[in-house]
Structure 1
């Protein structure tokens, strides 16, 4: 097949959607398909083409305009149309307004797939306008892929298109997180930098991640916490840590490379995803932690988050925004070596069995083939 991935960014840009697009692209290329990715430069640069493999091409575009975190380019939009005509299937990723607009202008013969990562998070007139576009797009696509049943059921838009939704777990390349492959010196260096045992959190420093709650829990438990990530709330979170007396025990780490990240997971006692809002649709960092053999504390959001790490099986699940419950879970994991070990072993097993790139890539291959057959059959009937 010839597959066109329409995305916002692509690694080395950081982010869950970016990792998913990379995994799908590399997975399809490994199965022998021709993959082209269209995306924007994250931090500037001229339009360029990168051949990452003989059958994997990434085209990065310089935005003509940026409004907040939305980039747009005439060249980007016109090339989506141009390359869609050459593709068997176009794979879009929601929410992203530029991609939504491009998806509404695709040629009729091209099969089209949407992966639904999350609903538009913010309320207001802009959300209503974007959702109106998304509804039009969903009405025109052949299949909508959702990473979890919880997200599919909770989405206001997807409930209208249930017959088109397929639940397929999101996947990541997991080999680099295998504890057996890690450099023990890097792991020791990470632990020494924090000053001893610690809990780990990874993510953008934004409102729905719940890092303010994690800081308060750290103050109650006295535990060390390392937070890897950057974002607009960094200053406020650092100030909060100082205000509650844990400025020396909550360590903010910026610029951790993909190569160094596995060592940080391995150095930690356990992982915490304390997200408080449904904008946290999946929490792919849980998969990384689980692949590293680390138990996870997550929250019972009405999304895919609690379907990734399972309460009592691979970690502990607490109600969102519940400081008492989060504190208790942290104390329980920190104080029980046997529990951490049992949950960590199960977490590693679940990550490998349920979120492997090859398994998920083959499921997407099946969905692509079904969509292509359906689209071409429809065109044949129309022509007749």
Structure 2
């Protein structure tokens, strides 16, 4: 048995890909007999101390500053610096200053440090975006040198970062996990269509993701523009956008200006437990990201596990997951005509849609959380051999 400290800016009840990754990884590790503690920042007014499922212990420190979803907490740094006796620290980035604090804490406590790189710095105002990019460069070229095992989720994402040789020599690729069984169970797609008054014969295009201004790189505005052309080819097509955030009002205004508001549904945020029903209701899923790398978006695995073909863009990370002409279609980022053409093709070609959906479902079988956790466990064990097992958060 090992004592493992997961270090992350976000954790449920906060929603998002990193949150899901850390929670599922922690659950599987705990079920395999390890003691898992989670140190995070309290962004959602959740209990400061909580005993999670499978005996996971969660500590949430007070939030001092949340700037475009980059969180800062002085007490978090204090807790981490005083954490002792763990066999391994595992920090999840991007986490502004969190990575650097983890490096210092690991050195101070002589604890092996693993870091999973989930993505680059967040976007916001032009000034903040510039600062975030500067920090991303620093963390990738300087801070990661202090990490024993840098972990990346896809090869193309890792290679796109032009990492220093010392980081490349240490890095490992660990495929992210997906709740394949949860999303392949079928869901209650009929109920979702009834909720939004969508006839069974109407093609339904789905997007799921956080609609914050820091996530403009997701390209939802390009999806709305492409949907104008899709409507011209398939008049009864509907677009269902799941997610909330401060970008939402602007997107709703754009839909009205494009005169497609009557065929676009903004569902708002949806709990993870209800998402299988939304995927089940859809005919295809679209991830129109305009910049990257995207690394390993969980929503792609959720859609593919639901046997839905995917339309996505040719950016690092995504190209390792979506197989063009097999599990869906890939188009250049920011190319509205090609995005529209790809969506229209899947909407109109039932045989290709069903075949790509079947292949997508089969493809996700290599992306289970169990397999992900086993790979991480092997990394931990290789670094933590002969370490004491008395992990505590003081």
TM-score, normalization by structure 2: 0.88
Alpha-carbon deviations, 1:223-262, whole Å to 9, x = none? 3111111223212211211112101111111132222211
User: Aligned-pair distance for 1:130?
Assistant: 5.2
Correspondences of 1:106-121 after superposition (within 5 Å):
106-108=105-107, 109-120=110-121
User: Aligned-pair distance for 1:17?
Assistant: 1.0
1:158–1:165 contact (8 Å) kept in structure 2 = no
2:51 is the counterpart of 1:51: yes
Correspondences of 1:105-144 after superposition (within 5 Å):
105-108=104-107, 109-120=110-121, 124-125=130-131, 127-129=133-135, 131-144=137-150
2:226 is the counterpart of 1:217: yes
* Gap change, CA 1:156 and 1:331, over 3 Å in 2: same
Task: Please name the residue that 1:163 is paired with.
Answer: 169
Q: Please, which runs of 5 or more residues in structure 2 have no aligned partner?
A: 124-128, 232-236, 388-394
Alpha-carbon deviations, 1:18-72, whole Å to 9, x = none? 1111121112112111100111122335x62111135311111221333442322
User: Aligned-pair distance for 1:98?
Assistant: 3.4
Task: Please name the residue that 1:379 is paired with.
Answer: none
User: Aligned-pair distance for 1:79?
Assistant: 1.6
CA distance in 1 between counterparts of 2:82 and 2:281 reads: 47
Indicate the SS of the match to 1:277.
coil
CA distance in 1 between counterparts of 2:136 and 2:159 reads: 20
* Gap change, CA 1:133 and 1:347, over 3 Å in 2: closer
1:209–1:280 contact (8 Å) kept in structure 2 = no
Correspondences of 1:331-342 after superposition (within 5 Å):
331-342=344-355
User: Aligned-pair distance for 1:173?
Assistant: 2.7
User: Aligned-pair distance for 1:102?
Assistant: 1.7
2:224–2:255 contact (8 Å) kept in structure 1 = yes
2:159 is the counterpart of 1:153: yes
CA distance in 2 between counterparts of 1:125 and 1:217 reads: 32
Alpha-carbon deviations, 1:148-169, whole Å to 9, x = none? 0111000144666210111111
Indicate the SS of the match to 2:261.
coil
Say how many residue pairs are matched: 370
CA distance in 2 between counterparts of 1:274 and 1:66 reads: 27
Correspondences of 1:178-197 after superposition (within 5 Å):
178-180=184-186, 182-183=187-188, 186-190=191-195, 192-193=197-198, 196-197=202-203
* Gap change, CA 1:147 and 1:197, over 3 Å in 2: same
2:318 is the counterpart of 1:305: yes
Task: Please name the residue that 2:234 is paired with.
Answer: none
Task: Please name the residue that 2:378 is paired with.
Answer: 366
User: Aligned-pair distance for 1:218?
Assistant: 1.1
1:218–1:250 contact (8 Å) kept in structure 2 = no
Correspondences of 1:59-78 after superposition (within 5 Å):
59-78=59-78
CA distance in 2 between counterparts of 1:335 and 1:156 reads: 40
Task: Please name the residue that 1:356 is paired with.
Answer: 368
CA distance in 1 between counterparts of 2:277 and 2:289 reads: 23
Task: Please name the residue that 2:179 is paired with.
Answer: 173
CA distance in 1 between counterparts of 2:140 and 2:286 reads: 32
User: Aligned-pair distance for 1:190?
Assistant: 4.8
2:151–2:172 contact (8 Å) kept in structure 1 = yes
Q: Please, which runs of 5 or more residues in structure 1 have no aligned partner?
A: 377-384
2:116 is the counterpart of 1:104: no
RMSD (Å), alpha carbons: 2.1
Indicate the SS of the match to 1:260.
helix
Alpha-carbon deviations, 1:104-159, whole Å to 9, x = none? 32243211100011222555345324533453431121111101011100014466
Range 123-132 or range 194-203, more displaced: 123-132
Q: Larger RCO: Structure 1 or Structure 2 (Cα < 8 Å, ≥ 6 residues apart)?
A: 2
2:34 is the counterpart of 1:20: no
CA distance in 2 between counterparts of 1:131 and 1:323 reads: 30
Task: Please name the residue that 2:392 is paired with.
Answer: none
1:270–1:333 contact (8 Å) kept in structure 2 = yes
2:251 is the counterpart of 1:250: no
CA distance in 1 between counterparts of 2:258 and 2:104 reads: 52
2:67 is the counterpart of 1:33: no
User: Aligned-pair distance for 1:330?
Assistant: 0.9
